[in-house]
Amino acid sequence: MTKVTKALITGITGQDGAYIAESLLSKGYQVFGMYRRRATDPFDNIDHIKNKINLVSGDLCDGHSIQEVVEETNPDEVYNLGAQSFVKVSFNQPHVTRDINFYGVDRLLHSLFRFNKKIRFYQASTSEMFGDVLETPQSEFTPFNPVSPYGEAKLAAHELVKEYRKRGMFCCGGILFNHESPRRGLQFVTRKITHSVAKIHLGLQDKLSLGNLNAERDWGHAIDYVEAMWLMLQQDTPDDYVIATGKKITVRDFVELAFKKIGREIEWVGEGLDEKGYSNGQVVVDVDEKFFRPNEVNLLLGDPSKAKKELGWEPRASLEDLVFSMVQNDLTLLEK
Ligand code: NAP
Ligand code: F7E
């Protein structure tokens, strides 16, 4: 009889957790998802697969719970996706961010190493580690230069992953650039834009207020990116990989694409805090200082050549498809 592979996913309730759970189930895995106690129901993203996965309670801030989860689930592969993932919040909650995003990884790796050194481990590293970028595009060879507590904590965790790799564990760091989907949290700029555009279309909101419209990002689709996580753990040797599309646009461009989906063109007038986006003579976008960050990452553009060559990975979704599917999903949700 062939043995069923067991995967433990931390961050199961988040965007990537839900997608990788679906993908692993389709590959015949037994899936365990670690969730933390919350006052409200956090299972929106996984409601449709809740009866197919095994939910286990635990928190990356609590070493006891992690040890229990590891022993109880006895996984072959671990995908560590749990994190305080919102960069802006990391500036006023740096300790929580460090506790989850660095010490959480430390606790988990420590438990896994003691329990079974053969477990394969994926760490959700990030392009935010490049921060104030030292070269463009960014690859596995680009020096890191984080500018937020989020980026700093993720970099410390990334270094720890390398350390455990040197100790013989199969650990990979996926340096993933921004990836989005209809399941993206509402705080992140892409979903904030698509949700607001849908509301404006339905007459439920007048305008959308944003921060830095000039920020440039390399945005891909989360479904493509979780496939790269799995591919990393199927290789003969563990390594780190940049996962990106190799294309970038500004926040302003993203806004235009989202409005295009509802058949509206945006005309930009003014600069800086006074910049406004007009459609049919009405202000539909403006700039609000409160959405700026104490320290900004102005540009991220990834070079995924290594992942393409060694993993055979390719991003499939186009940016237009991604934006349109997000707006369409928000229209459907709001029309319910
Ligand atoms: P997400 O939607 O914000 O999900 C984060 C998950 O972490 C949620 O399930 C959350 O649970 C869980 N979590 C938070 N604190 C925890 C704790 N103390 N213990 C256990 N779980 C905890 O993030 P995502 O977009 O799916 O990203 C997945 C991972 O990739 C994160 O580590 C993120 O930092 C990293 N990453 C993301 C991107 C991107 O563009 N999406 C790019 C690079 C790296 P609750 O539901 O209870 O809050
Ligand atoms: O911001 C600018 C903002 O919050 C993108 C996380 O998944 O990707 C994500 O981090 C850009 C920034 O994502 C608003 O200043 C303008 O330049 O959507 P975001 P992020 O900070 O890039 C990385 C790779 C991760 O690892 C993280 O976990 O958009 N921006 N106006 C705005 N951003 C937000 N949120 N809201 C605005 O109103």
Please compute the mean of the pLDDT values over residues 171-186 and round it to a whole number: 98
pLDDT at 156: 99
The number of the ligand nearest the C-alpha atom of 223 reads 1
Per residue in 281-327, pLDDT tens? 999 999 999 999 999 999 999 999 999 999 999 999 999 999 999 99
Buried b (16+ CB within 10 A) or exposed e, 237-249: ebebbbbbbbebe
Confidence tier at 214 by pLDDT (50, 70, 90):
very high
Pocket probe for ligand 1: among 8, 12, 16, the residue whose CB has the most ligand atoms within 8 Å is: 16
pLDDT at 204: 98
Token pair 């500004």 is found at: 250
Centre of ligand 2 from the C-alpha of residue 40, in Å: 25
Dihedral-angle region of residue 28 (phi above 0 means left; psi in -120 to 50 means alpha; beta otherwise): left
Q: Which domains does the chain have, with CATH numbers?
A: 6-181+219-247+299-316 (3.40.50.720), 189-215+250-298+326-335 (3.90.25.10)
Q: Do you find a cis peptide bond into 137, omega within 30 degrees of 0?
A: yes
Pocket probe for ligand 1: among 40, 55, 64, 81, the residue whose CB has the most ligand atoms within 8 Å is: 81
From residue 95, alpha-carbon distances to 152, 221, 262, 301 in Å are 12, 30, 41, 28
Q: pTM score > 0.85 for this model?
A: yes
- Say yes or no to pLDDT of 42 above 80: no
> What 3-state class would DSSP assign to 152?
helix
Which atom of ligand 2 is nearest to 87's Cα?
Answer: 21
> CA 322 to CA 228: how far, in whole Å?
18
pLDDT at 1: 67
Q: Whose CA is nearest to atom 15 of ligand 2?
A: 212
